[in-house]
Structure 1
Amino acid sequence: MERELTPPAAGDVRVRDTRDDDMAAITAIYAHWVETGTASFELEAPSQAEMRRRFAGYRESGFPWLTAERQGEVIGYAYAGAYRPRPAYRFTAEDSIYLHPGATGHGAGRLLLGALLDRLRADGFRSVIAVIGDPGVNRASVALHGAAGFAPFGVARRIGFKFERWLDVAYMQLEF
């Protein structure tokens, strides 16, 4: 993730289904945020093999996993999974979005989230939950979800511990 990107204009970004050959770039994007940020509560970045396993599991379960690319280069990804495993939750998904650090703040996240929500709506989901780690720091994620119509419904205080500090989690929901 050492290489810098020219910030994308939203019109230059294409969102498509994720492919196996996207996993190297996706692994690098996620590793950056695991190692430097608090959006993910993982403490060690997963390997590319582990990311492939996760991708396969979500896809086998019928959940969407999307990639944003600009000029053939992966600049972000978004996916949804089960909010909770019990059957009564089957119409509720939880979303996740990660962007290359050089691609933030230029509309790629909005495009990814919009495409993901369109897919979930078409697949019959009724609700999407955003679980946002360290919302005071990850204000862009809170703003992105708010702009897409998500409403906050709570904050769990000091439930994660990373980088030698306690972290909150904000919960937001969009109903279709």
Structure 2
Amino acid sequence: MADDTLLIRPARPEDLGAITAIYGHAVATGTASFELDPPDETEMRRRFDALSASGHPYLAALRADRLVGYAYAGPYRPRPAYRATVEDSIYLSPSAQGQGVGLALLKHLVGAAEAAGFRQMVAVIGDSGHRASIRLHERLGFRLVGTLENVGWKHGRWLDSVLMQRGLGPAADAPPAR
């Protein structure tokens, strides 16, 4: 694969070292995640296995055979009535930010979630200051549905959660297939 070619594919167990490193950096330095301590690879494997076993899409982005980002659609809430709604998560290595990797991952994730029979996708964006993430979601048809102000404390300040949502597939009023 050429150095500038981006490959999006299902994530694999062997990707978990790079995924753990990308997420660990995001947790330690950013506000996209409200986790305070980066989980280790064992915990990331547990999360990956749980999502994979339940049919939730989990994708990896590679450039020059190097994992530069990942995305997954996890359960929005644990109660059964929410089973057709997923929450998207996208994390990129610092070197891949601003290069269209997030857009490619989210496009593929939306398609994979639709193919898996999910009906709604929710984005819970950590902090209203994440303009790039908000714009990314807007580009793919997400609409702002609310902002929870000052709900998380991280890095010495209060953070908002921005909620965005989009429908998946053509049957907005159909009962869930899952």
Look up the SS of the partner of 1:106 in the other structure.
Answer: coil
TM-score (normalizing by structure 1): 0.92
TM-score (normalizing by structure 2): 0.91
Correspondent of 2:66 among 73, 81, 106: 73
Aligned positions of 1:81-160 closer than 5 A: 81-136=74-129, 138-160=130-152
TM-fit CA distance, 1:96: 0.1
Look up the SS of the partner of 2:34 in the other structure.
Answer: coil
TM-fit CA distance, 1:135: 2.1
Aligned residues: 166
Runs of 5+ consecutive residues of structure 2 not aligned to the other structure: 169-178
- The equivalent of 1:13 in structure 2 is 6
Residue 62 of structure 2 aligns to which amino acid in structure 1? Answer: E
Q: Does 1:170 align with 2:159?
A: no
Correspondent of 1:22 among 12, 15, 19: 15
Q: Does 1:46 align with 2:3?
A: no
Runs (4+) off by over 6 Å:
none
Look up the SS of the partner of 2:60 in the other structure.
Answer: strand
Q: Give, in whole Å, the separation in 2 of the partners of 1:43 and 1:91.
A: 29
Please give the root-mean-square deviation of Cα atoms over the aligned residues, in Å.
1.0
Look up the SS of the partner of 2:52 in the other structure.
Answer: helix
TM-fit CA distance, 1:94: 0.4
Q: Give, in whole Å, the separation in 1 of the partners of 2:159 and 2:138.
A: 21
**Identity rate, percent:** 52
Q: Give, in whole Å, the separation in 2 of the partners of 1:160 and 1:71.
A: 37
CA contact (8 A) 2:55 2:116 kept: no
Q: Give, in whole Å, the separation in 1 of the partners of 2:150 and 2:128.
A: 11
Runs of 5+ consecutive residues of structure 1 not aligned to the other structure: 1-7
Look up the SS of the partner of 2:141 in the other structure.
Answer: coil
